[in-house]
Chains A and B, each alone.
Chain A
Amino acid sequence: AQRVTQPEKLLSVFKGAPVELKCNYSYSGSPELFWYVQYSRQRLQLLLRHISRESIKGFTADLNKGETSFHLKKPFAQEEDSAMYYCALRAPFGNEKLTFGTGTRLTIIP
């Protein structure tokens, strides 16, 4: 069975401090991993996917297959980063369903 675990429901970080949102997954094989973000009163939107290896809004995420993790990181938090962040996985090579974690609410303290 595929599963995504986000151990922190809430995370508060001071502006300018580093941010790390944890995500661990369980999947037999090599899934595709994603981070989705939901800003206040907005829809879920894709932030990052592991296959593209890009940095979006200063965020990066590295897939660690040994630890089955896909943690989201940003070196210097900004107030506009306050949002709900969801890690998700999907079977590769298809248009399969997304399996989400429970999400982490990130609050940046000014």
Chain B
Amino acid sequence: EPEVTQTPSHQVTQMGQEVILRCVPISNHLYFYWYRQILGQKVEFLVSFYNNEISEKSEIFDDQFSVERPDGSNFTLKIRSTKLEDSAMYFCASSEIGPEQFFGPGTRLTVL
């Protein structure tokens, strides 16, 4: 059964550094999402992406964040200058035209 994959599983970075989190959505899916979960808190929506553009973004998704689908298979989340408070689990999800979103296993980002 096809699955969403994410790399790396764990990323450690210094404050102020740029990080890129990578996701490979399920191949025939059209809608892509990033969510994050700070330890002990709820899963929060960051951004959705459809037809090569952002369709919605949350207040969290400020100018430090960007998303890209560079080659038709990968979907990336870039954080330009990481802050301590960006430490969280980042989940990628994808969906067809329909309600079910399929989640990846997550990337744990630790900012020191």
| Contact surface of A with B, Cβ cutoff 8 Å | 32, 34, 36, 42-46, 49, 51, 86, 90, 95-103
Contact = CB atoms under 8 A, between A and B. Distances in A.
A95 B97 contact: yes
Nearest to A99: B45
Range of interface residues on B (Cβ < 8 Å):
20 to 34
Nearest to B31: A95
A36 B56 CA distance: 22
A49 B99 CA distance: 9
B45 A97 contact: yes
Nearest to A97: B45
A46 B98 CA distance: 13
Given A43-B103, A90-B99, A98 B31 contact: no
Contacts of A34: 99
Contact of A44 (B30, B48, B98, B103): B103
Contact of A100 (B4, B42, B55, B97): B42
B56 A51 contact: no
20 contacts: A43-B104, A45-B103, A46-B100, A46-B102, A49-B99, A49-B100, A95-B98, A95-B99, A96-B48, A97-B33, A97-B58, A98-B33, A98-B35, A98-B101, A99-B45, A100-B42, A100-B43, A100-B44, A102-B41, A102-B42
